[in-house]
Homo-oligomer: A and B are copies of this chain.
Amino acid sequence: MALSNLSIDGKRLLADLYKLREFGTYKTGVHRPTYSKVDMESRHWLAERMREAGLTPEIDGVGNVIGRGTGDGPRVLLGSHTETQPYAGWLDGALGVMYGLEVARAVGHGVDVVSWADEEGHYSSFPGSRSFVGLFSEADIDAGRNKYEGISMREALASAGLAGLPRIGFEPGRYRGYLEAHIEQGDTLESTGEKIGIVTSIVGIWAFRITFEGVQNHAGTTRMAIRRDAGLAAAKLVTAIDALFPTICAERTVWTVGRITLDPGAGSIIPGGAEVIFQIRDADPAVLQRMAAALEGLVAEADTGPCRAVLHDVSRSTPSLMDPGFQDALERAAERYAPGQHQRMPSGAGHDAQWLARVMPAAMVFVPSIGGISHHWSEDTSDADIVLGCQVMAAAVAEILDR
């Protein structure tokens, strides 16, 4: 059938990506925090591109931008997100949304396109896709707070002009499934010389906060022997994790201390408080459980020292399996356009697809990241790889709509 021979327009795709990068350009990357002025400008720009592509765009009450087509027949939903991490890359998220738009234009019908709000978690954990699948309540919005600046999600939505808008929910039976393209954000494809990654599962992420309570005091007059230094306790825990975890992890387990904060954080004051932001990722729930238990042990041990140490659960996401049929379709498309240059692989990063997978078949396709870099302004992918990935996705979508 004609669909399986369709070609995307690589130049048009790249032009759209370059244009989107202009919203919040930082060096060769982008600073486009969720609900910021420039983020909202980019959402309205995207809605206009959807309209030009023959879709009916809508920005909903949580900031999702959804472009829906009319007419009967089979239909898929394609998308990702358009806001960025602070001072981060131009393709993380943007690539998947622009692929969706280009595939919609190339296929001509049967494709809805979406940009999920706040996948990068400035205010909450996947509020856009969770809202769509019915797992993000008004109370969750009330609880949302910007993790860098502290303003509430309600305030931010109001400032962005989104207060009171309806939230668009999942319409049962409308879609055969959801597909999301993304940069790999690691160096697996690059190091093997491959061009396409077909995602088998999305890791679970278990996030924690560890707090330490000591006694704030003067850094000159308090003898070492009587100090209860919360900052030192925090540094020792981080060092202890680094010593223990490699001995108990699985092959692809990763863990990260993303932030250490000392209170009050002045040179001449012994810190009375400290906080460590920590996370563990693995595709196997049993591994996550084992690592979390080890962390509990280390924090309990720290708690026997001069400072009180407490482990707080922030979130525990379940690893998510991608649809086997969609994986097969993506593999056939990859073999056609990049023969022998594709592999199946888990995703070490969380993606909106893990929430969509709860209500419909879902799949993801990866393209190479130069140097494996992401969440940094220098993140990049070659133009040729960008265009190839979109062509593979278009062919897979054509097959799925064809069935």
Contact = CB atoms under 8 A, between A and B. Distances in A.
A217 to B, nearest CB: 6
A219 B260 contact: no
Given A254-B224, A264-B86, A217 B376 contact: yes
B203 A374 contact: no
A121 B268 CA distance: 9
Contacts of A7: none
B217 A375 contact: yes
A265 B205 CA distance: 18
A311 interface: no
A71 interface: no
Contacts of A223: 186-187, 252, 254
A218 B378 CA distance: 12
Contacts of A218: 185-186, 348-349, 374-375
A382 to B, nearest CB: 18
Interface string A272-295: 100001110100000000000000
Given A239-B235, A257-B231, A222 B372 contact: yes
Contacts of A256: 219, 229, 267-270
A225 to B, nearest CB: 10
A166 interface: no
Interface string A306-333: 0000000010000000000000000000
B220 A254 contact: yes
Among A258, A259, A265, A267: residue with most chain B CB under 10 A: A267
Interface of A: 85-87, 121, 147-148, 184-187, 203, 205, 207, 215-224, 226, 229, 231-232, 234-236, 238-239, 242, 246, 249, 252-262, 264-272, 277-279, 281, 314, 347-350, 369, 372-376
26 contacts: A121-B268, A186-B218, A187-B223, A203-B220, A217-B372, A218-B349, A218-B374, A220-B281, A220-B347, A221-B349, A221-B372, A224-B254, A229-B256, A231-B257, A231-B259, A234-B260, A235-B242, A236-B239, A258-B262, A258-B267, A258-B268, A258-B271, A259-B265, A260-B262, A268-B349, A268-B375
Given A186-B221, A222-B372, A257-B271, 13 more contacts: A215-B373, A217-B373, A218-B374, A226-B372, A231-B257, A234-B235, A257-B262, A258-B265, A258-B266, A259-B267, A260-B260, A268-B279, A268-B375
